[in-house]
Chain A
């Protein structure tokens, strides 16, 4: 009977459990969870604040998930060390577990740059976990003035979640635009305008230089008084366990398409990894949910002796604020062409290079965008489809007769 250990209890871990069980019904699975919550998906915390969900509904899987999959769940503990030679892990309390196959799903942690006087701020929070959220919820009042450092996905979702529950929300970011990791200037401007119309204030191109109590001074000299501070500058992959054990990696743990690390029988999946983005042909950390599950599942299958690869990863994001949605995927490589449609309500930007769709940014019109995503992932030559029609509207009709017959006339 094989012994599987999964460090971490996020979505990648859930994928890993389901992957293992799709192959091996017998082996023992032990999950080491630092958080005292059953698996949930981190992005849901903003929806919790927004009261679109609750702790119960946030659970990624049913109550019986661990029992159904015969998982030994160790909560409130984290792994301190991987002894790759001995094929065992040691927990923070000294307990050790042996494994035949190990998957590291340690995720990422908030990154807080050094800021003078930060220790003088009483109400400061990260926005990564349920516990962060519950703590934040405890202190906010309808009179709270909230300052959020970071206008990325996390910071802005936090802003949306807090909207209506606090008096004011100001978001600052060193980058000159919002959502700088996924949007270009024009798209970001549309999103920012929409967020501003909903009462979010921005200080862009600058960030907090120093704090003293509830007072922040920005690098550009602006001053902000606040009651609650949210630190959402960014995240860093939790790579230490694997790296300390001798595993390779850069900003994330290096994994192959099969989700193997450089160490034997040690796999890694999710936000802690760096892996191949086929849209840009580069290796990067792509801390995003669909990929985390797919990596976890891939790792699980391979750990249990099956054979799986996740070899068409691309960055992609579906995010919306106050009813205005945005889909992005892939990348905008140097020298790519752009197809654009834009009006007051929506923007569509498709990026094309070497007869392939490499990426897109869509705001306000989400209908059937998965067809574009699939075009990127499959690296379909655009000369083999009717791209003139496709770019106007995503449709199977423009994908060619053979593809349509395959997809619509039989099981896929």
Chain B
């Protein structure tokens, strides 16, 4: 399946992906209206290593997803490889945050868990982080599956 991968050699650490993510999942059509004056809770996180190298981390859509197995509400499921949260069922216990080894499931600011769903459920249609990256540092592509 197609996944999001980072090419850290091209990541500028500009954090635009985080803002594009927050906007894409805001359900609004204007970024200013969506984000101005608010703390953002992006589903992708830019990290910086000890050498100053930056890269963005988002859900890996694992083959053996511990978040799906751990969700007490049965709200997280994996379909065609894509792991998504049914926000209608989620009660905000944050067990998924506690178990995701990549720190890719995060709280959304209102106490509910959220994670990258490849922008399949929002108006963006394709990952907003990829589209908005000014330097091609985040790609959405097929790289084969783990055996």
A and B touching (Cβ–Cβ under 8 A):
yes
Minimal beta-carbon separation of A228 from chain B (angstroms): 23
Interface string of A35-48 (1 = CB under 8 A from B): 00000010110010
Query: In the complex, what residues of A have CB within 8 A of residue B96's CB?
Result: 370
Report which of B50, B60, B63, B89 forms a contact with A407, defined as CB distance below 8 A. Answer: B60
Of the listed stretches A109-117, A184-192, A231-239, A321-329, chain B binds A321-329
Interface residues of A in 365-379 (CB under 8 A from B): 366-371, 373-374, 377
Q: A297 to B50, alpha carbons, bound, how many Å?
A: 39
Interface string of B120-147 (1 = CB under 8 A from A): 0000000000000000000000011110
Query: In the complex, what residues of A have CB within 8 A of residue B27's CB?
Result: none
* A167 located at the interface, meaning its Cβ lies under 8 Å from any Cβ of chain B in the complex: no
Name the residue in B8, B93, B102 with the highest tally of chain A Cβ atoms < 10 Å from its Cβ. B93
Minimal beta-carbon separation of A404 from chain B (angstroms): 8
* A213 located at the interface, meaning its Cβ lies under 8 Å from any Cβ of chain B in the complex: no
The reply to whether B102 and A43 contact each other, CB–CB distance below 8 Å, is: no
Query: In the complex, what residues of A have CB within 8 A of residue B101's CB?
Result: 370-371, 373-374, 377
* A247 located at the interface, meaning its Cβ lies under 8 Å from any Cβ of chain B in the complex: no
10 further interface pairs, Cβ-Cβ under 8 Å (given A366-B97, A410-B143): A57-B89, A290-B95, A316-B98, A320-B94, A327-B94, A327-B97, A398-B49, A408-B5, A411-B63, A412-B63
* B99 located at the interface, meaning its Cβ lies under 8 Å from any Cβ of chain A in the complex: yes
* A219 located at the interface, meaning its Cβ lies under 8 Å from any Cβ of chain B in the complex: no
The reply to whether A411 and B74 contact each other, CB–CB distance below 8 Å, is: no
**Residues of A near any B CB (own CB < 8 A):** 11, 14-15, 41, 43-44, 47, 52-53, 57-61, 289-290, 293-294, 297, 316-320, 323, 325, 327, 329, 366-371, 373-374, 377, 386, 389, 394-398, 401, 404, 407-412
The interface residues of chain B, by DSSP majority, are classed as loop
Q: List 26 A-B contacts (CB under 8 A).
A: A15-B69, A41-B72, A44-B72, A52-B91, A57-B88, A57-B89, A59-B74, A289-B70, A316-B98, A318-B94, A323-B111, A325-B94, A366-B97, A366-B98, A367-B107, A368-B106, A370-B99, A370-B104, A371-B101, A373-B99, A396-B57, A396-B103, A404-B49, A408-B55, A409-B143, A411-B146
Query: In the complex, what residues of A have CB within 8 A of residue B47's CB?
Result: 395-397
Q: A329 to B94, alpha carbons, bound, how many Å?
A: 13
Interface string of B18-52 (1 = CB under 8 A from A): 00000000000000000000000000010111100
Given contacts A294-B69, A297-B69, contact A368 B95 (CB under 8 A): no
